[in-house]
Chains A and B, each alone.
Chain A
Amino acid sequence: MKVKVYVKLKSGVLDPQGQTILGSVRRLGHDFVKDVRVGKFFEIEVDETENLEEKIAEISDKVLSNPIIEEFSIETDGDR
């Protein structure tokens, strides 16, 4: 089965990549776009295991993200 982990900068942290993309989008005339935040997406293939969410959360916290500036969310249901 597959697990999806999304990592993005916490809301208070300046995201220069997002700001650059926002600038380009608005230069195209799309003034309705208010903000862009850039993140990372991890698709992880796993075997069935006990406490899967807990284990993926540990991996996300210790490896996939830096908790000082980033937060993560996990989706495990999609491909079951």
Chain B
Amino acid sequence: MKAGVVVFPGSNCDHDCYHILKHVLDVDTAFLWHKDTDLSGIDLVVLPGGFSYGDYLRSGAIAKLSPIIESVAEFADKGGHVLGICNGFQVLTETGLLPGVLMRNRSLKFISRYVNLRVDNADTPYTTRYVDGEIVSIPIAHMDGNYYADEATLNELEANNRIVFRYCDDNGEASAEGNPNGSLNNIAGIMNKGGNVLGMMPHPERCAEDFMETNHGYYLFESIKKTLSGVL
């Protein structure tokens, strides 16, 4: 298995993702410059967090026009695995690889803290090491994480079990209390129809080693590693 971490001007979690994949999970990992278009040999593309192109127009809006994104879209269409974290999630919605949009947080504040997430679909390539309904603690750090989609899209996501992570309270309820940013249906992470593209606002790479406050993000990377290595 080989992973590629895309580097846009303004990405700032690229090295964290690279470190976790390469040094903690022992996955063959390379950086991919936003002007690269060759994804041959890559099994997993990671769109990391940060502020691509400064997010000056809208989060992810300029990144969707970068040369590598066309290749990533083709890669995803052919079933290639793509993980978008935070700004990467915003890029995926702007690109149309995932539905909906990430709007400004309800509070208009940048929020950086641990949140509770409920794993609502443990049957994805990224979540096999979790169990359905499990509550994990993973940090968020974003200004635009307020997921919005029209009712038909939300219904489709719900009906097809495409909501992978939801913000929840300590009891695992997807309540308003557990919702940090106003996301509709407490959505923190969703996947595409094909089940190969996952976008999520929380940062699993920031809690994937034992010395960190939690290591709950480790299992997401381990899940995708096992899936792509055929060790399930």
Where the two chains meet, the residues of A that have a C-beta atom closer than 8 Å to any C-beta of B are 13-14, 16-17, 20, 63-64, 66, 68-69
CB distance from B17 to the nearest CB of A (A): 25
CB distance from A43 to the nearest CB of B (A): 14
Interface membership of B34, Cβ < 8 A: no
Neighbouring A residues of B101 by C-beta, 8 Å: 66, 68-69
Within 8 A of A (CB), among B35-69: 57-58, 61, 65
For B77-121 the 0/1 string (1 means CB < 8 A from A) is 000000000000000001000001101111110000000000000
8 Å CB contact of B108 from A17, A63, A69:
A17
B108 engages A20 (CB within 8 Å): yes
Could you say which interface size class chain B belongs to? 10 to 19
8 Å CB contact of B57 from A13, A16, A63:
A63
A68 engages B65 (CB within 8 Å): no
CB distance from B97 to the nearest CB of A (A): 14
Neighbouring A residues of B219 by C-beta, 8 Å: none
Bound Cα distance from A17 to B107, whole angstroms: 9
Known: A16-B107, A63-B61. 4 other contacts (CB 8 A): A14-B106, A17-B104, A17-B108, A68-B149
**Pairs across A and B, CB under 8 Å, 15 listed:** A13-B103, A13-B148, A14-B106, A14-B182, A16-B104, A16-B108, A16-B182, A63-B65, A64-B57, A66-B61, A66-B101, A68-B101, A68-B149, A69-B101, A69-B103
Bound Cα distance from A57 to B21, whole angstroms: 42
CB distance from B149 to the nearest CB of A (A): 7
B108 engages A68 (CB within 8 Å): no
Bound Cα distance from A63 to B61, whole angstroms: 7
CB distance from B69 to the nearest CB of A (A): 13
Interface membership of B150, Cβ < 8 A: yes
Bound Cα distance from A17 to B104, whole angstroms: 9
Bound Cα distance from A69 to B105, whole angstroms: 14
Neighbouring A residues of B150 by C-beta, 8 Å: 68
Supposing A16-B108, A17-B108, A20-B108 touch, asked if A66 and B58 sit within 8 A by C-beta, the answer is yes
Neighbouring A residues of B108 by C-beta, 8 Å: 16-17, 20
**B57, B65, B105, B149: residue with the most chain A Cβ atoms closer than 10 Å:** B57
A68 engages B57 (CB within 8 Å): no
Bound Cα distance from A64 to B61, whole angstroms: 8
Neighbouring B residues of A17 by C-beta, 8 Å: 104, 108
Q: Who on chain B is nearest to A20 by CB?
A: B108
B148 engages A69 (CB within 8 Å): yes
Neighbouring A residues of B107 by C-beta, 8 Å: 16
Neighbouring A residues of B148 by C-beta, 8 Å: 13, 68-69
B100 engages A68 (CB within 8 Å): yes
Bound Cα distance from A64 to B65, whole angstroms: 12
